[in-house]
Amino acid sequence: MSRDELPMAHGAPVLQAVMRRAPEDFVVEEIDGFEASGSGEHLLLSIEKRGMNTAFAARRIARWAGVDEASVGYAGLKDRHAVTRQRFTVQLPGREPPLVESLSFEDAGSGESLRVLQAVRHARKLPRGALAGNRFTLVLREVSGTREAIDARLDAIAREGLPNYFGEQRFGHGGGNIARALAMFAGRRVRREERTLLLSAARSELFNRVLARRVAEGSWHRGLEGEVWMLDGSRSVFGPEPWSEALAARLAAFDIHPSAPLWGAGEPRSQGQARALEAAALAGEDARRLQQGLASAGLKQERRATRLRPAALGWRWPGADALELRFELPPAAYATSVLAELGRVDNAAPDRSSE
């Protein structure tokens, strides 16, 4: 499903705007999930970069250190058209790194820059997902819509959260990754890196279809009979179990969330009304082919929360038609999902690399 087809939870759009007029309008900072060990064969680099994506920065670090790209680790992908702060590790067993200052650079012509904020020894390579979340500061330009309605929508998001859709970055330009995934499942050979990308896109598509059905029916933030519950900030799930005052209190406190399937081999854990909704949302030939392909690829049934509440959500109006948003999201949550619950936000950036 395209972003325009996904239903909104809080009513009709309240604004139109443009984002990424400049990289400084989209600032992302990783929230560290651990402290550096202080010793070991890896160098842990805290980097601020502008105008370059994560893979480009990793290649530059590898060249600087004189190592293969496989020796460079990072926790997550960050956009090119942004200012981002994230950590990298580079494996340097038994030797000292080149001067850290020689890695930093600034190119006035292209607008690209990289600055080392900190360098410290660490025991292990930084694996994907090894972060507590991301902190965003976004400035929307050319905002149209009444401040009263926009402020009210942001208040509602702060109180109630929003649907935890996968962002459009998962699906490639024009959503083309789904067609490519179907072709792969039909026998087209792809590289290992592309296979991983397409499996993720297929899973995300099926999840979004189930969540869209729950948003349309008003159950994205409440439990259904046969619900599988996910603990906040965790991949742990439990249930189904009978509805109780204890579950209601935990749901109201955002300690637990309803969930929807990340498809794989086997049967979903949900039962009853929740299972029936999932089956209805995933009816159709293309959904069946995506399900079969994911199961054949060896993925197992998992779950993802249907509800997301941005932490530390705040905003201000620095100009008559400019809105600055600040919030924090857990790993694998998308800033674009927050923006989409406000209305239509067009991307002014020439590049839309993966987040």
Helix or strand or coil: residue 128?
Answer: coil
Shortest CA distance to 32 belongs to which of 72, 89, 79? 89
CA 41 – CA 57 distance, rounded (Å): 20
Sign of CA dihedral 140, 143, 148, 149: negative
Nearest to 317 by CA among 146, 161, 162, 157: 146
In the residue annotation, 32 being an active-site residue is answered as: no
Nearest 10 degrees: Cα torsion 261, 267, 269, 275: 70
- Terminal-residue alpha carbon distance, the chain: 19
Quick one: how far is CA 328 from the chain centroid? 11
* Other CB atoms within 10 A of residue 232 CB: 15
- The pair phi, psi for residue 165, each rounded to 5°, is -65, 150
Q: Who contacts 335 (Cβ-Cβ below 8 Å, separation ≥6)?
A: 28, 134, 136, 138, 167, 327, 329, 355
Give SS3 for 195. Answer: helix
Burial class of residue 132, CB neighbours in 10 A (0-12, 13-18, 19+): middle
Given 68, 79, 155, 255, the catalytic residue? 79
In the chain, % helix, strand, coil (3-state, to 5) comes to 35, 30, 40
Task: Give the residue numbers annotated as catalytic, written as ranges.
Answer: 79
